Structure 1
Amino acid sequence: MTTPAPDRSAAPRPQPKPGLMDIHAYVGGKSKIEGIAHPVKLSSNENVLGCSEAAKEAYRTAVDRLHLYPDGKANGLRAAVAERYRLEPERLTFGDGSDEIFALLCQVYLEPGDNIVQGEHGFAAYAIGARACQAEVRMAREPGQRIDADEIAKCIDERTRLVFIANPANPTGTWLTGEEIRALHAAIPPSVVLVLDGAYAEFATDPRFEDGLDLARTAENVIVTRTFSKIHGLAALRVGWGYGPAGIIEPIERIRPPFNTSIPGQEAAIAALADLEFQAHSVDLVEQWRPFLAQQLGGLGLEVTPSAANFVLVNFPDQPGKTAREAEAFLATKGYLVRAVANYGLPDAIRITIGLEAHNRAVVELLSEFMGR
């Protein structure tokens, strides 16, 4: 029997709908350390190289049009993305970062009593969007910190509407092969939308990795999302996009806020997309230093989760003096910010963004000092 909703009309002041104040607001990676003017920020998976010079110039050029509304359909950027990835432009949607697309999907598909399924260490934005729609969030076990199709399938029932999968995953960095993604899709009922969050897809260079766009091209219940925040280094401009069938894109477009991506954001994104050299340099940096961190930190007795993203997840022993929380605090005293991930169900781990050579070597030296204390 359904519990009746409380009568908010008799309240002494306006009341939010039930459950909203139980949501834990998203908390980003730390950016400040008291007493240290310019800490090294390796806590938010930002592109340590910055962004394309062409994107900067496009941003500067847009300054004289700040009084104008942007193109609400982002047609220039739409054409650029469609050409780059060989996609049908009418099957694209654009958001204030891919986070907005997640929230819009929740608005489109979720009613009170419905549910979404995600991995137990899944990105917090999925759950926030679902709970804002008064839906249940089901966390599937991740054996070995990896998404498992069987565990996802166990959580699905007749009220499941969305399954959120980041590939590669955040905060673990683990990833699924194309074959595994197709098996996962096959285990999901056709009435359930599979959301493939590809925020870190450009950093996954193993030939077995697939970005999901081909699956979304042919399946009626798959949408792939991407962002300009990571590989392109445009995190401040908040531009994301999604590609899927008309049956998913059209309802999103009906409720998408007008003018949700700005003129500077759209034009910087177009320029960034064309700068293949900057993208290659960004990938090369990660491919050089990601295995370095894994090997060096592994040599200190720390378990590093295999990653296909621009960060590594480092697992610490549950031993006083050597815990993840203490390691994070120790690095902060030395001017290095990393990300504690206890709120993602990983209390014994920290996430470290791949930095420049000097940053990566310093992190190894500092953690060597920490572990040897």
Structure 2
Amino acid sequence: MNAPFPRPGLLDIAAYQPGESTIPGKDRVIKIASNESPLGASPKVSEAVKGGLNKLHLYPEGPATQLRQALATAYGIEAERIQCSNGSEEMLHMLARSYAGPGDEVIYSQYGFLAYPIAIQIAGATAVVVPEKNLHADIDAILAAVTPKTKIVFLANPNNPTGTYLPDAEIRRLHAGLPKGVLLALDEAYAEYATAPDYTSGLELARSADNVVVSRTFSKIYGLAAVRVGWSYCPQNVIDVLIRVRCSFNVNALAQIAACAALADNAHTEAARAHNTLWLPKVSAALAAIGIPVVPSQGNFILAEFKDAADARAADAHLRSDGIIIRPVAGYGLPGYLRITIGTAEENEALISSLTAYKKA
């Protein structure tokens, strides 16, 4: 019997595999695999969400006007140039579907977020993967890969899973070298954690350019991964497209309430940033001291380097035996590395203790 068959190419897509949350036989686990905030959401979020529970029969406010205004105030940008999304990943898909299709090419860096090729393939476009240099995006290589078929360049800054970043001068050099008809999509999911003195958000560049989009998320420093809220700052010509292709009511009402409450609690956000600023170098130094080099990171995670793929797998197995879940990154082409989220003080100490025991075994 014949069955419906999907559009050509869809079954060739490798589905995204999220980080694990459980370990068989372990009642209590430490999950430091998905770059979630160890401080969780602001206490003000749960209070605000409770106030919206008596309106679950009503559709959410489609344009997310209140949230966009709150974002405009918090980041000093124009509300009319903000588009909210169901997590920042939805924005990747909207951009790919809107600006690329069969016969087009979309560029991303070798160790970029795995959602990029998925969004590109779903759109029917061709993914062009550009090699990195020392785990950093290579601007010259990206520019060399541009052809008349190029429609979008996806670039995470800071990058996941490496934690590396490009300074403002390099981002501007990339933009200056791109044809005006190529969209530069800057994924800044971890921007709030970045402390490097030469790191600058692309928001200012996007303010003056017709082909730059900056996407952000509430899943990381704001601790709202469960409710799925993202947002992007776009030129008006891109906004005009996005409001036509986004799903109706794509950000649910409770998510909008939660995001507004999170934005309003600056003290909680600063505490999350301070916690990461304290523990990121402490965990990095502790692992380096036991012979596990760490890639310098501007995110809320580290990329730990092992001797080879077998060593990384053995370390992962040892951590799991201690009830600790981290993220193997062989799927990114980095089989000799493990990505580790900065957790609570207790979780970080447990991680260091477990890996110390592993190295001594």
Asked whether the two chains share a fold, i.e. TM above 0.5, the reply is yes
Is 1:285 aligned to 2:275, yes or no?
yes
Which residue of the other structure, out of 250, 254, 258, is the alignment partner of 2:240?
250
Whole-angstrom distance in 1 between the partners of 2:33 and 2:343: 10
Which residue of the other structure, out of 295, 310, 335, is the alignment partner of 2:323?
335
> SS at the partner of 1:225?
strand
Which residue of the other structure, out of 168, 178, 181, is the alignment partner of 1:188?
178
Deviation at 1:326, TM superposition (A): 1.4
Aligned residues: 361
Contact 2:156/2:186 (CA < 8 Å) preserved in 1? yes
Contact 2:309/2:337 (CA < 8 Å) preserved in 1? no
> SS at the partner of 1:145?
coil
Is 1:137 aligned to 2:124, yes or no?
no
Contact 2:293/2:304 (CA < 8 Å) preserved in 1? yes
Contact 1:149/1:187 (CA < 8 Å) preserved in 2? no
Deviation at 1:150, TM superposition (A): 0.6
Gaps of 5+ in 2: none
1:366 aligned partner:
354
TM alignment of 1:126-165, pairs within 5 A: 126-165=116-155
RMSD: 1.1
Which residue of the other structure, out of 274, 285, 288, is the alignment partner of 2:264?
274
2:207 aligned partner:
217
TM alignment of 1:2-151, pairs within 5 A: 12-151=2-141
Q: Supply the AA of the counterpart residue of 2:344.
A: L
Deviation at 1:220, TM superposition (A): 0.8
Offset from partner CA, 1:138-177 (integer Å, 9 cap, x none): 1111111111101111221111111111111000000111
Deviation at 1:237, TM superposition (A): 0.6
1:297 aligned partner:
287
Which residue of the other structure, out of 317, 330, 339, is the alignment partner of 1:351?
339
| Length-normalised TM-score, structure 1 | 0.95
> SS at the partner of 2:17?
coil
Deviation at 1:28, TM superposition (A): 0.7
Q: Supply the AA of the counterpart residue of 2:177.
A: A
1:199 aligned partner:
189
> SS at the partner of 1:355?
coil
> SS at the partner of 1:346?
coil
> SS at the partner of 1:196?
strand
Deviation at 1:319, TM superposition (A): 7.3
Q: Supply the AA of the counterpart residue of 1:229.
A: S
Contact 2:309/2:335 (CA < 8 Å) preserved in 1? no
* Deviation >4 Å, runs of 4+: none
Whole-angstrom distance in 2 between the partners of 1:175 and 1:165: 10
TM alignment of 1:225-244, pairs within 5 A: 225-244=215-234
> SS at the partner of 2:134?
helix
Whole-angstrom distance in 2 between the partners of 1:215 and 1:305: 28
Deviation at 1:353, TM superposition (A): 0.3
Q: Supply the AA of the counterpart residue of 1:326.
A: A
Whole-angstrom distance in 2 between the partners of 1:292 and 1:120: 28
> SS at the partner of 2:226?
helix
Contact 1:221/1:245 (CA < 8 Å) preserved in 2? yes
Deviation at 1:206, TM superposition (A): 2.0
1:259 aligned partner:
249
Offset from partner CA, 1:58-78 (integer Å, 9 cap, x none): 111111111110000001101
Whole-angstrom distance in 1 between the partners of 2:36 and 2:66: 25
Whole-angstrom distance in 2 between the partners of 1:187 and 1:37: 53
Offset from partner CA, 1:219-276 (integer Å, 9 cap, x none): 1110000001101000111010011111111101111101011111001100100111
Whole-angstrom distance in 1 between the partners of 2:33 and 2:177: 35
Q: Supply the AA of the counterpart residue of 2:327.
A: R
Whole-angstrom distance in 2 between the partners of 1:82 and 1:192: 26
Offset from partner CA, 1:248-305 (integer Å, 9 cap, x none): 1110111110101111100110010011100110011111110011111111222200
